[in-house]
Amino acid sequence: MTDIFVVSIAAILALMIYTILYRENPAFRLGEHILVGATVGNAVVQAVFQIQNVAITKFQKGMETGDVTGILYIIAIILGILLYFQFSSKYRYVSKISIALMLAVGLSLSIRGLISVNVVGQIIGAMQPLNSVQNIVYLIGVVCVLLYFVYEKKVSNIIGPLPKIGRYVLMMTMGAYFANVLMGRVSLVIGTLNDLFVAPAYYFIPIALLIVIADSLSRRKIAGKKS
Amino acid sequence: MTLRESLSQNYKPIIYFILFVLIGFPLLHPLGLPLPIDQDCRDVYNKIESLKAGDVAVVTQYIGGGNRAELYPQYKAVLEHLLRKDGIKIILEEAGTESPVFSQLVLQELNAFKRKTYGVDFVDLGYIPGDEAAIAGLCRDLHALVSKDYYGTPIDQIPMLKDVNTAKDFTIVVDITASADSQFWLNQAYAPYRTAIALGMASAKVPDAYAYYKAGQIFGILESLKGAAQYEFLTGSPGLAIIGMDAQSLAHLYIAFLIVAGNVAFFMGRKKK
């Protein structure tokens, strides 16, 4: 019984969202607001539990046992509270302490890995043995794309048409991105239709279609009367 | 009406209707179109197949309502493969607030609690907030970062995690995501500990992942629904992803046709001007 209820609600909400393909309407807006509300509500609940698990529990444990590492979690809790000074125009600067610390920690954490993975690793990865057509094309692509970003006029005169080839390689890469995004969007429709093609969800499809057709006809009638 | 004029009409409702029919029909009546297996997907399968008893597989995911259709079939296929293997320690971790729901769903659908023993063969750490900082903490000292699992059991009481402390103890990490946390795992697990990583990606992120695959920094990629379908095929457990591939192929052919038709209309219009 619960399953039938859940499937029905999911189907109705999915169809409400898809009505945007017909036109902007209250059903779509209601579905959209429910989605946003549910997502934010879930995130808030998760955040509260996480603050409790990650910081408050450890701090309480530290206070009970006298463990300094546990007690130090109070600093994280205070820094977290300071973030809420964003909402005060008078004391907003206080929140900048936490923001600055978050940025510093984030940057210092990522910089080590970024250089190793995205700079050194990628340069090593680009040095492939030229024993296959794929690797030769890969090397030409890398060189031409790099040359495309050289804006020095004297250099441009020497390297000739290579930046143009780089531009085409970049355009092909954009094409690959676009095709992948398209594949993703189609996958989402497939996922939704998979959910709609189970009982009792499919009973709602003709109902939704009839509502859309009725609305379309009534709008046409009103438009006809006005003209 | 000339060809150019007819191509320039606003056919939006008809285009959507045909698209829905082309996607919906193969879902109800699968066509059985051939499904070639990509090397990046096969590499993921082979690596998991080569795992031995005692190896630790971390499966982390950032699945939400918006990318569920692409990523959930991947998650299910990879976990099905891991659950078939004996003696593998499976650690589930979630990076999104909506993600724990999908871990619970997949464990239920795969009957994991009856097939394996919770706490001995697999564990769900639940949602860990903090993005890159959390992943860094998980890789440096799992026990210091996580105090309880998803069900509230203290980590110290979970037998399979006794010898698992840092990313050095992770044999493989499979990150299923549509977000930037794939980069975080590379930064925090691959760069300092050389942990073997595979990425299950939403399609928009796949071209990014190829750079890492080509450079040997990750051992494989699962590409969107296609990757899930290929993995289902390799494990011999066909599911929704394989059925969806017929629909995907037809939709792609249709969209390719629309792109060509749009370009023909554009160039014919320019010629006339």
Cβ-defined contact of B224 to A187 (cutoff 8 Å): yes
Task: Please give the structure tokens belonging to residue A25.
Answer: 């309407």
Which pLDDT value is given to residue B249?
92
Does the pTM exceed 0.90? no
Which pLDDT value is given to residue B226?
92
Query: Is B13's Cβ below 8 Å from some Cβ in A?
Result: yes
DSSP state of B83: H
Residue B243 lies in a domain: no
Same domain, B156 and B58: yes
Same domain, B14 and B103: no
Residue B53 lies in a domain: yes
Q: Count the domains in chain B.
A: 2
Same domain, B257 and B130: no
Query: Is B54's Cβ below 8 Å from some Cβ in A?
Result: no
Residues B93 and A163: their CA atoms lie apart, in Å, by: 44
Query: Is B203's Cβ below 8 Å from some Cβ in A?
Result: yes
Strands B122-127 vs B89-94: parallel, antiparallel or unpaired: parallel
Pick B217's closest partner by Cβ from A21, A50, A121: A121
**Chain B residues lying within 8 Å of A176, measured CB to CB:** 207
Structural domain including B149 reads 39-236
Same domain, B58 and B186: yes
Judged by DSSP in three states, B35 sits in coil
CA-closest candidate to residue B85, choices B119, B130, B35, B47? B47
Q: Do the beta carbons of residue B252 and residue B226 sit within 8 Å? A: no
Residues B153 and B167: their CA atoms lie apart, in Å, by: 22
Same domain, B259 and B151: no
Helices (H), chain B: 3-8, 12-28, 39-49, 68-84, 99-109, 112-115, 131-140, 142-145, 181-185, 191-193, 206-214, 224-235, 240-272
Which pLDDT value is given to residue B6?
64
Local confidence pLDDT in tens for the 227 residues of chain A: 778 888 899 999 999 999 988 888 999 999 999 999 999 998 899 888 888 887 888 899 899 998 898 899 999 999 999 999 999 999 999 999 999 999 998 899 888 888 889 899 888 888 888 888 988 998 899 999 998 888 777 777 778 888 899 999 999 999 989 998 988 999 999 988 988 988 888 899 999 989 988 988 898 888 888 77
Task: Please give the structure tokens belonging to residue B207.
Answer: 């071209």
- Which single residue is written with the structure tokens 């769903």? B105
Residue B100 lies in a domain: yes
Residue B112 lies in a domain: yes
Same domain, B263 and B222: no
Pick A189's closest partner by Cβ from B23, B129, B184: B23
Cβ-based neighbour number of residue B26 at 10 Å? 21
Q: Which residue of A has its CA nearest to B153?
A: A53
**Chain A residues lying within 8 Å of B13, measured CB to CB:** 21-22
Same domain, B10 and B43: no
B192 upstream amide cis, omega within 30 of 0: no
User: What is the CATH number for B72?
Assistant: 3.40.50
- Which portions of chain B are predicted below pLDDT 50? none
Same domain, B82 and B206: yes
Which pLDDT value is given to residue B44?
97
Which pLDDT value is given to residue B80?
96
Which pLDDT value is given to residue A79?
93
Same domain, B137 and B206: yes
Backbone angles phi, psi at B252, to 5 degrees: -65, -40
Which pLDDT value is given to residue A74?
93
Same domain, B21 and B115: no
Taking the CA of residue B221 and the nearest CA in chain A, the distance in Å comes to: 14
DSSP code string of A162-208: HHHHHHHHHHHHHHHHHHHHHHHHHHHHHHHHHHHTSTTGGGHHHHH
